[in-house]
Structure 1
Amino acid sequence: MILITDSGSTKSDWIALDANGKQLFKTRTRGMNPAILTPAELLDRLQESEDLVAHKNEVDQIFFYGAGCGTKGPRKALETLLVNYFHNSKVIVKEDTAAAVYAAVGDNPGVVCILGTGSNCCFSDGEHIEQRVVSLGYTLMDEASGNWYGKNLLRDYGFKNMPTELMNKFEAAYNMDPDYIKYNLYKQSNPNAFLARHAEFIFQNLEERYIKKLLRKGLRKFSRNMILQFREEIKSHEVHFVGSIAYFAQARIKQVAAEFGYEVGNIVRRPIEGLVDYHIKKLQKSV
């Protein structure tokens, strides 16, 4: 049995295949970001799925693509946990940018961006994936991500920089008690995912002028700081996007792309399906 995992900070999608590429089951756990969670917390989340618990001894290979796996320490910690849990399996852990590339362009070249709970950008030449910015975490980076938009919505609400009608709607949609917010930001394990939950408000109010302006603000920052790291590459390659933020913000992405001079390619909401197709093709070639 082969397990393929696409994990963000908010959720992890798991799909099991047999040796011929036939899907055996699909399941979901909370996000497994090893840069934020302890091994004990990661194990708790792994055990949330009855399917994973029931079939753990049948797994031969795991391809895990996840947020927080871009540096050696967290990646190794997660790899050790998975090897110990699925003790009959060979485990490969890669950063979520690899999943985004395989889902958006496969083995073709292109600039590929992630706009989900977090954000990232890379270039694939069809064989090698290159990142020119190493993430310093959601508090310093992650422009145009769910947690960045959630943080800015909360700030604008707090400073009363949001239109009154939207402030009322925001207050009705979320618990705005200051103690509740600070508890989740400073005493819970996934503050970035907590922030990202508030970004859903954007997609319920896409036609509001304030929302359009906020979307453009984040996408301009992301374009300037991340996409323009690949100034030469975007002259001859399209820029592809993966993630829920990207999917719902397509109109604004195309608007900002025109400002910065790059062409938008594929926009993929959930990379897991494309990721599975990529691995099935690899399996078929190896037969």
Structure 2
Amino acid sequence: MKLLVDSGSTKADWIAIDDNGKVIFTTQSLGLNPEVLEEEEIINRLDNKFDISHNKDKATHLFFYGAGCGTDRMKDFLTSVFKKYFTKAIVSVYEDTYAAAFGTTPRGEQAIVCILGTGSNCSYFDGKVLHQKVQSLGYIAMDDGSGNRFGRHLLRGYYFNKMPMDLAKEFEEEYNLEPDYIKHNLYKEPNPNAYLATFAKFLIKHKDNDYCKKIIQDEMKDFVENYILQFENCHDVLVHFVGSIAFYLKDELEVALEKYDIKVGNVLRRPIDGLIAYHVLNK
């Protein structure tokens, strides 16, 4: 049994397949980002999902694609944790961009592959290897166009009294905006980036509001200029996207890229289904 996992900071999609790609089970756990979680919390999140804990000794391979796995240190840390848990499995840990690359180009086509979800990322896929021009410094310093950036804009706009009054009133009704509650989630709870990203749903809901529209346009512009335009061939290959932000703001994304003569390819909410095709084709 092979376990395929696509993990962001917020959630992780799990699919167990046999050698022919037949699905044995699917489930979802909380995200397993090694940049923000300790070993104990990772184990707790695995134990809390029956399908995972009940089948951990049946897994022969674990292919984990995750946010926060962009450095050897984080890959080694997570590999060690998984080997302790899935004792009979061969463990392979990749950064989440590889899930996006394999999921959007299962036959190995050259493309630029972007992630726009809780966080953001962008790489050139040559058909085998991913090449990055920008080393991520995490959600505080980077993540242009991401859910957590949108959440940051909304909170700042609300507290600096920049948000239109009618929008602010609805924002208050939908979220707990008590300062102590917000600061607790930002500084005391795990995954503050995922907490910030929860506000993106509000932005998407009101994407036609001029205030929200400007936030979206500015972030899309920053993502294109700071990430995609780093690659000289960005006008020659398709640019694929994976992630909930890209999926729900696809129209806005296409408009933003059209201004730079960049062609949008596949836009997937999640790459997990494409990963099945990839692992069947590349046994």
TM-score of Structure 1 vs Structure 2, range by shorter chain: over 0.9
Give the structure 2 partner of residue 27 of structure 1. Answer: 27
Q: CA deviation at 1:239?
A: 1.1
- 1:123-160 Cα deviation digits (max 9, x unpaired): 01112211111111100000110101011111101111
Amino acid at match of 2:114: C
**Residue-by-residue CA offset, 1:204-246 (whole Å, 9 max, x unaligned):** 112211111111111111111111111x211210111110000
Q: Report the TM-score when normalising by structure 2.
A: 0.98
Q: Which range moves more in the overlay, 175-184 or 273-282?
A: 273-282
Aligned-residue offset at 1:260: 2.1
3-state SS of paired residue (2:190): coil
In the alignment, structure 1 residue 100 sits paired with structure 2 residue 106: no
Q: List per-residue Cα deviations over 1:168-218 (Å, max 9, x = no partner).
A: 111111000000000000111110000000111012112211111111111
Structure 1 distance, partners of 2:207, 2:137, is: 30
Structure 2's unaligned 5+ residue stretches are none
CA distance in 1, matches of 2:207, 2:8: 24
Asked if 1 retains the 8 angstrom alpha-carbon contact of 2:99 and 2:275, the reply is: yes
Percent identity, aligned pairs only, is 45
Q: Secondary structure at the match of 1:218?
A: helix
How far the C-alpha of 1:72 sits from its partner, in A, is 1.3
Structure 1 equivalent of residue 114 of structure 2: 113
Give every structure 1 segment of 4 or more consecutive aligned residues whose post-TM-superposition deviation is greater than 2 Å. none
Deviations 1:25-49 (A, max 9, x none): 0011000000111111111111121
* Alpha-carbon separation, structure 2, partners of 1:189 and 1:141: 19
2:144 counterpart letter in structure 1: E
1:217 aligned residue = 218
More helix by share: 1
- What residue in structure 2 maps to residue 272 of structure 1? 272
Alignment partners' CA distance in 1, 2:228 and 2:30: 29
Q: Aligned equivalents of 2:131 and 2:201: distance in 1?
A: 31
Matched, 1:126 2:127: yes
Q: Does 1:36 align with 2:36?
A: yes
Secondary structure of the residue aligned to 2:207 is: coil
CA separation in 2, counterparts of 1:249 and 1:57? Answer: 40
Count of matched residue positions in the alignment of Structure 1 and Structure 2: 282
**1:174-253 pair list within 5 angstroms:** 174-230=175-231, 232-253=232-253
Partner Cα separation in structure 2 for residue 18 and residue 242 of structure 1: 25
Query: By how many angstroms is 1:20 displaced?
Result: 2.2
Consecutive unaligned residues of structure 1, counting only runs of 5 or more, are none
Shift of 1:270: 1.2
User: Counterpart in 2 of 1:154?
Assistant: 155
Does the aligned pair in 1 maintain the 2:79–2:92 contact within 8 Å?
yes
Which residue of the partner structure matches residue 58 of structure 1? 58
